[in-house]
Structure 1
Amino acid sequence: MQFRQVQATLHSWFGIVVLWSVFLIFFTGSIAYFRTEINLWSKPENFLYLKASPSSLESAQVAYDYLNTHAPDAKRWRVNLATSRMPFNTLEWQDQTSKYHKLQDPNTGLILTEGRESLGGDFFFKLHYSLYPLPDVVGRTLVVIVGGLFLIALITGIFTHKKIIKDFFVFRSFKGQRTLLDLHHITGVVTLPFYLIMAFTGVMIFFYLLMPMGIHQQYGENGIKKFYSEIQYSNVPKPAEDSGIQLKEFSIFSRQLPQQGSNGAVLEKFEVKNPNTAEALITFDYGYNKLITFNNPQFIFAANTGKNLSSERNLHPVAQISSATYGIHLGYYASQWMRWMLASLGLIGCIMLVAGALLWQRKRIKQHNKLSYTVVSYLNYFTFLGLPLATAMYFLANRILLASLEHRVQYELFIFFMSWIGILVIPMLVKMQKAIVLAFILTAFILWMTVFSPIFLSPQAFIFNTLRHQQWSVAGVDLVFIFIATGYIFACYYFRKIKMREVAK
């Protein structure tokens, strides 16, 4: 067997083994680029408080004062400050018994308690990297194994297509298997750099799950935290003197902080470890503007004296590679237009996966292998049509479930997974071709319902009102739903046109 034939075989089998899992990972990862906007969209009761945010230092002052009053004995505070994407402070703290997560109006200091309980966009982020709600270690291990196999499928795919550049400029429509092959080539070439980088960095981030022995040998059984602490700082800052236990006023720190970091970014978050103890430290982090690595401007103070502590970033090449790996994959550096580009590449790559799966399915027809054809056709339907439908149902559930419903998050997740599994009933009742058309129509209908249901349930969240008040982050989510629903209707029409041509032949 020739080298290229070996690569083609590896590409086919490694690809088909992980294809459906990869679709889930990249589909949810693409959505997760906008999880902040989705988080805001998912709590329409808070839209009444949407207004221009104060400066980042003023927002930090409001959050600091609230936590020092209401959570003085917490183990730590974490605060993400209000931005144009999320115009509320996000407060997190932990005491001896519980963890707390609250939204705060940075203008008034008011804690927003009326918002409905929802994971919002965080659900897709968790599903992307840990297959939530699986146990964290199990989910991450499965994701990194799938990522490694997919990386092999990508590399072998490069060797398989010897005319990869030439084929990029060829697309034969309405030609059945040739059309799928051309679509697979074109979308593959467009997204190849993106998918290679994301698959590689994703595997590198969770390297310790595939190769844990080095970490265990050097740092002990649970040494991953020690490893990341060492790789981030050359020396970990600590209070150098007995400084009492009372936190200093916020103005002591703000006077020592610049309005902008060295990269032009503003203050984005701060964290206080062991507040109101002798070991209290406060860390201020500026944004990742134009920075791929995690070496963003940072200032660390002894929280009880206001003394600026020296903290040297670890600039060793290995530390820089690790930091860049995280930065590239998570995309914190990305501006608004770049997030759109990254998400679009992720979804275009999903089209590549769909075309590849349908190619494999058609080859099973030629080989008259009914069992593998049936299994693959149902898996394709379940994944490529079921996951978008379940996603649409998740968003609709956010709008139609009562805001005061207890265990509301669990109901949203139940609706998501039951919708996903339930779609398999459709091809059991009707022929697969009709089932595909019905899935397109049903998904489009659910998205339209999601957009227009607030007319009766939460008028402040209706798209006409959010557009009128220039609440672009919120309105943008609904506009995307309208665009996708319209695209699904066109896809339905295109699919029927293809089938009519096949019947005519």
Structure 2
Amino acid sequence: MATVTIAPGAGTAALRRRLRATLSWLHLWVGLSVGTLFALVSLAGTVLVFHTDLLRWQHPQLAQHAPVADGRVLAAVIKQWQPHGLRSLDLPRAELPVWQGYFQDGSRAYFAPEDGALLLRRSHHDDALLWLHEWHVELLGGETGKEVLGVVGWVSLALVLIGLYLWWPKRGRMLAQLKVFTGPPVRRWLTWHRSSGVMLLPLLVLATFTGTGMIYSKGFGAVFMGAFGGEKPTAPEVKGDGLVDWTQALAHARDALPGAELHRVSVPKAGDGALAFRSQASGEWHPVGRSTIHLDRSGAQRLQVYDATANRLGARMSDAIYPLHIGAVGGSVMKWVTALVGLLPAFLLATGFLFWRRRRRKG
């Protein structure tokens, strides 16, 4: 009877080939399906990087004001618009020198800093930028859309890592694997696909990871703070009503954190005796700031002042997710890099599809 000899490592090599074939199949078909949705979401993100710039271009009247935050104007705006669902306002600043109001239905309104006159109101039903924003953050589907997008985020991260595994070269061939060819078509599309993906991999992973982290912000925050320390402050619960001296409140809120910039005020609800402000402390990446200031209803007494930069590393890591995702860190260079990364999933989808189609025809 003949004896069959199996070469050492033959079983492992066969297993690796089967694993590679399976991962290649997943990378192709999941990439062409889920990857299409991921690419469309990312393209919207590229546009949204320039949201404020495009808003000023669309509506130049918004930029024709001096960025002055007058407490009397704020009081008038809140009195008129709170019954219509106004929940918070961004203070006028150089980038957008008007009051920007956020409403419960997701719409936004813009008020003149001089007298509170309504300059513009927009929602995702009538404004392309806000429509893209709703698509980018929740696929136009509310909480259900947001959950679907979270799954897309995790699957996309897996696709990126699978692609890295399939690309990984043998020892000494790293540079050769990064070489880009112009022809023939099969080699061109393959090298464009894998080389661009690998060279921009850290930025693509960062954008995808932070985007997914925004959807699961509570879970990500709990993990970061559990591992590296820190905790988010609980807003003080104070009952009360009455008129607010907004001029005094703004002055006290500005003085609460030396060196910080006051950016947002929440519209107080009935029975809530505390006034809440968001401020950007020196060194914070978040464009609005994660530091908070709470005053009593009169606006004269500080109830709580929280400096986000003084928190422990885990809390600061959690706060960094949003500014890293939108390219708010590193000035205009990082802004353009973030926009470029938003184009990458569509480029990978197109080159991957063209490679598959050419190889299929050749076969």
Unpaired runs of at least 5, structure 1 = 216-230, 368-505
CA contact (8 A) 1:180 1:359 kept: yes
CA RMSD of aligned residues (A): 3.6
Equivalent position SS for 2:88: strand
- Which of 356, 360, 365 is the matching residue for 2:361? 365
Question: Who is 2:293 aligned against?
Answer: 299
In structure 2, do the counterparts of structure 1 residues 202 and 304 end up closer, same or farther at CA, with 3 Å as the change threshold?
Answer: same
By percentage of residues, which structure has more helix?
Answer: 1
Residue equivalent to 1:151: 157
- The reply to whether residue 64 of structure 1 matches residue 74 of structure 2 is yes
Check the 8 A contact 2:27/2:159 in 1, yes or no: yes
Contact 1:289 1:333 in 2 (8 A): no
Equivalent residue, structure 1, for 2:45: 29
TM-score by length of 2: 0.76
Q: Is the 8 A contact 2:72 2:246 kept in 1?
A: no
Give runs of aligned pairs for residues 91-110 of structure 1, distance below 5 A: 91-93=101-103, 101-110=108-117
Aligned mate of 1:18, from 13, 30, 34: 34
Letter matched to residue 294 of structure 2? I
Is 1:236 aligned with 2:235? Answer: yes
Distance in 2 separating the partners of 1:205 and 1:114? 26
2:250 matches 1:257: no
Residues 266 and 275 of structure 2 are in contact (CA less than 8 Å); yes or no, is this contact kept in structure 1?
Answer: yes
Against the structure 1 CA distance between its residues 165 and 128, is the aligned structure 2 distance closer, same or farther, given a 3 Å change threshold? farther
Higher relative contact order (CA closer than 8 Å, sequence separation 6+): 2
Structure-to-structure mapping, 1:269-288, within 5 angstroms: 269-274=264-269, 277-287=270-280
Question: What letter is aligned with 1:59?
Answer: A
Between the aligned partners of 2:62 and 2:151, the Cα distance in structure 1 is 44
C-alpha distance in 1, partners of 2:361/2:294? 64
The answer as to whether partners of 1:61 and 1:250 remain within 8 angstroms in 2 is yes
Opposite residue 198 of structure 1, the aligned amino acid is A
Aligned ranges for residues 447-486 of structure 1 at < 5 Å? none
Note if contact 2:108-2:121 (Cα within 8 Å) is conserved in structure 1. Answer: no
- The answer as to 2:111 corresponding to 1:111 is no
SS at match of 2:119: coil
Partner-residue secondary structure (3-state), 1:325 = helix
Q: Is the 8 A contact 1:129 1:140 kept in 2?
A: yes
1:396-411 correspondence runs (5 A): none
Q: Deviations over 1:22-72 (max 9, x none)?
A: 1111111111111222233334xxx34632523xxx325354132244246
SS in 1 for 2:267: strand
- Relative to structure 1, is the Cα distance of residues 161 and 200 closer, same or farther in structure 2, using a 3 angstrom cutoff? same
For 2:128 and 2:337, how far apart are their aligned partners in 1? 22
Match of 1:173 among 170, 174, 182: 182
Which of 350, 353, 357 does residue 349 from structure 2 map onto?
Answer: 353
Shift of 1:308: 0.8
Identity within the alignment, %: 18
Cα distance in structure 2, aligned partners of 1:270 and 1:63: 13
The letter for the 2-side match of 1:193 is: P
Which whole-Å CA distance do the structure 2 matches of 1:122 and 1:191 have between them?
28
| Partner SS for 1:59 | coil
Please give the per-residue CA displacement for 1:321-372, whole angstroms capped at 9, x wherever unaligned: 43333443244446333211210122244322321121122222234xxxxx
Secondary structure, counterpart of 1:237 in structure 2 = coil
Residues 90 and 104, structure 1, Cα contact 8 Å, conserved in 2 = yes
Partner of 2:134: 126
Map 1:438-449 → 2, pairs under 5 A: none
Shift of residue 9 of structure 1? 3.9
Give the Cα–Cα distance (whole angstroms) in 2 for the partners of residues 288 and 156 of structure 1: 40
Which one of the candidate residues 38, 63, 83 is aligned to 1:50?
A: 63
Q: CA contact under 8 A between 1:104 and 1:110: conserved in structure 2?
A: yes
Q: Which has the higher strand share?
A: 2
Of residues 143, 168, 191 in structure 2, which corresponds to 1:162? Answer: 168
Query: Number of paired residues?
Result: 331
Residue 187 of structure 1, CA deviation: 1.5
3-state SS in 2 of match to 1:147: helix
Distance across 2 between alignment mates of 1:53 and 1:270: 19
Spell out, residue by residue over 1:105-128, the C-alpha distance to the aligned partner (whole angstroms, 9 max, x if none): 224433215999832322212111
Matched to 1:189, the amino acid is V
Distance in 2 (alpha carbons) for counterparts of 1:101 and 1:349: 30
In the alignment, structure 1 residue 245 sits paired with structure 2 residue 238: no
Letter in 1 for 2:182: S
Alpha carbons 2:69, 2:113 under 8 Å: kept:
yes
Alpha carbons of structure 1 residues 337 and 60: separation in structure 2 relative to 1, 3 Å? farther
1:78 is paired with a residue whose SS is strand
**Structure 2: which 5+ runs fail to align?**
1-13, 223-229
